[in-house]
Structure 1
């Protein structure tokens, strides 16, 4: 128990240290005409401490009245008092406990150096009071509670030894400074815990973003399945009609259906490889891009659509994300046309400039009855793909009949290489 009482005193006097300084809150930018300074922002609190320290040093060092001794000693004592009131203020921002130790050692010395005033006069000067209260406040803000209590107790003891009659008023002022500083410390710690909680929340949101990304992959799976199954279903209906009993055409149509099925299985494996990987590793197989548009168009034409394509001479150099999203948007648009407007004419217009890629997919009314309506996830997936890249997508019926999809996908040239 005795060591538990002495430990806070040891911490306050020579063993303890303060917490690291908090981030600067009250700062101003250095004007341009002071651009040669080694710093770009000024901490207003620290600047105020330095200004007050300079003021106390100048005023105290020039004061000669009321000091003990004369001659060389009388010339030296004012500078001791000047350092006692200014040095702790200059240090309290970075090293508050060191500043208090200097103040606790030098300020009583300055009180002794002054000739004893009358009984109804406090022995403390205004610089001494201001300096000690500011340093004690800094200790309460930046130091452990045990150190703060020890500082308060040592202050009470020193006040009682030097001037018992001033104990009440001195401790009242010091207690107010300590309580105010401790309240600031508690609030800062609560703010730090809140920030830590926010960081944990952000990490949880990051995990949620991973889940959402996997949901996007699931929609990718929907796109693959919906497109290929639509093509396969329509091909299965069209092949017997085209073959008209011709074994060669029937065999060719079945081979085409088989090819589409194998392609669908390959893409399903590619997507499912991501879903199965618990560590987030992705398949290294390349994702489709605009270089495979001809395959989509050929599949769509095989189902009876009349697809007219207008595109630039080259689509090389697109960022992979833009190429994949463009491919999936066109794929979904053609699948919708197959499902809802069989036999329609489809206009596919691909445009590109320095800022972005533009897609226009317009189909007229179908020449055959439409199939069953889908689940509506295709349009949602297309919009999300465009939004993910910072682009836009609009889809809706056209006045003359049919449907139109218009998408704009920005191109980041830094990622285009």
Structure 2
């Protein structure tokens, strides 16, 4: 049995206080009627005490309010019945059915020998019993509704927190993927620098001493930078010792994705402006992931619909736009919606904007605009 007195949230606010005050006033008036119009009587005091206990609620032991209502109703009968009904409602709402039934039995047993003027058995023998039963049924309904609403609110809150955690996990995974891809790109470029400076160093005897010294310094710096980069970011490649290294995305082209989609039966139209070499490596990686996600979503949610892809490598920003028409939803796969969360994180990291949503009747549009980084300032001085 619970050790505290609890009330349903919908029944513990101002409406309940009004009901308790009304029940107390009714008990006082009925008591005065049965006492020949006298208000300063023991029954009036007990009615006020019982009403105060019902108003106090959780600040008193859980049995205080029902006990005072049982005593008042048992001794003075139907004039105090309104207080007992409120107490029975509270007990039933808190799942104290045994206590509520026991209170009814005690009241009816004690009141069985009461005078006819205040008896619960006359003039309607089963009338008070019906009112008590209705109070308990109403309390059960209110308590169950309260618990259902609370459970639904907890479930909604749990789903909200779970979705936030999954979105944060998707963002973190995308950041790790970006860092890993840039590690591959930078390692490739630094290894080329080290390779070419090493080749030139073999001909140091034919070069001026300052140039040969600078070549040696450049080769040493690039080798050390490559080692530091592998030490710091190499842990981002979460692979087992026997796993094969995935191909570097920078070496793959969007045209490969389009061709693979066409071979799979998708109707893909690709329009490209400018040359891919005009865009930074980070932009090309982002565009590759965007096109990959757009084609995947089109296969999942609009199977058989034509897809239009527009890429713009020229201009002050790199732009990609993917539009697919309406089609049938694929019967396999479980769409999670977190691929776009990771792409949005990637595009924001590059200072761009990502838009995804309906585009006309039955079509969907995924578009991103990534501004080019500002070129380094040229001061015209020579080293």
- TM-score, length-scaled by structure 1: 0.47
Q: Which residue of 1 aligns with 2:35?
A: 67
Aligned counterpart in structure 2 of residue 131 of structure 1, from 80, 83, 87: 83
Would you say the 8 A contact 1:60–1:78 is kept in 2? no
How many Å separate the matches in 2 of 1:339 and 1:210? 21
Distance 1:52 1:207 in 2: 49
* Partner secondary structure for residue 87 of structure 2: helix
The answer to whether the Cα contact below 8 Å between 1:219 and 1:381 also exists between their aligned partners in 2 is no
Distance 1:184 1:336, change over 3 A: closer
Pick closer, same or farther for the CA change 1:99–1:392 going to 2, 3 Å.
farther
Displacement, 1:258? Answer: 0.8
The one of 28, 50, 66 equivalent to 1:100 is 66
- Aligned to 1:167, the other structure's residue is in SS state coil
Q: 1:151 aligns with which of 103, 116, 124?
A: 103
> Could you tell me how far 1:90 is from its partner in structure 2?
2.9
The answer on whether the counterparts of 1:394 and 1:405 sit within 8 Å (CA) in structure 2 is no
For residues 59 and 258 of structure 1, the distance between their equivalents in structure 2, rounded to whole angstroms, comes to 97
CA RMSD of aligned residues (A): 4.8
1:191 maps to 2:131: no
Identify which of 356, 370, 384 aligns with 2:345.
384
Moved more, 99-108 or 228-237: 228-237
Kindly state the Cα deviation for residue 240 of structure 1 after the two structures are TM-superposed.
Answer: 7.6
Is contact 1:88-1:103 (8 Å) kept?
Answer: yes
Deviating 4+ runs (over 6 angstroms): 240-244, 337-340, 379-382
**Partner of 2:41 in structure 1?**
79
- Retained in 1: the 8 A contact 2:197–2:218? yes
Equivalent-residue separation in structure 1 for 2:202 and 2:285 (angstroms)? 24
- Secondary structure of the residue aligned to 2:149 is helix
Secondary structure in structure 1 of the residue aligned to 2:5:
coil
Which residue of 1 is the match for residue 138 of structure 2?
A: 180
Is residue 374 of structure 2 the alignment partner of residue 404 of structure 1? no
1:176 Cα deviation after fit: 0.7
Match of 2:224 among 235, 259, 264: 259
CA contact (8 A) 1:53 1:87 kept: no
Mapped partners of 1:382, 1:227: distance in 2? 19
Contiguous gaps of at least 5 residues in structure 1 = 1-10, 28-42, 69-73, 112-123, 277-332, 341-362, 366-378, 396-402, 408-417
> What's the CA shift for 1:147?
1.8
Instruction: Decide whether the 8 Å contact of 2:50 with 2:68 is kept in 1.
Output: yes
State the alpha-carbon separation in 2 of the partners of residues 253 and 230 from structure 1: 16
Alpha-carbon deviation of 1:82?
Answer: 2.0
Give the distance between the partners of 1:251 and 1:145, measured in 2 at CA: 90
Match of 1:325 in 2: none
In the TM superposition, 1:286-305 aligns within 5 A as: none
CA contact (8 A) 1:386 1:393 kept: yes
Gap change, CA 1:109 and 1:146, over 3 Å in 2: closer
Counterpart position of 1:393: 352
- The 5-angstrom pairing of residues 105-254 of structure 1 reads 105-111=71-77, 124-125=78-79, 128-158=80-110, 160-162=112-114, 163=119, 164-165=121-122, 166-198=124-156, 201=159, 204-205=162-163, 208=166, 211-212=169-170, 214-232=172-190, 234-235=192-193, 239=197, 245-246=203-204, 248=212, 251-254=216-219
CA distance in 1 between counterparts of 2:47 and 2:97 reads 25
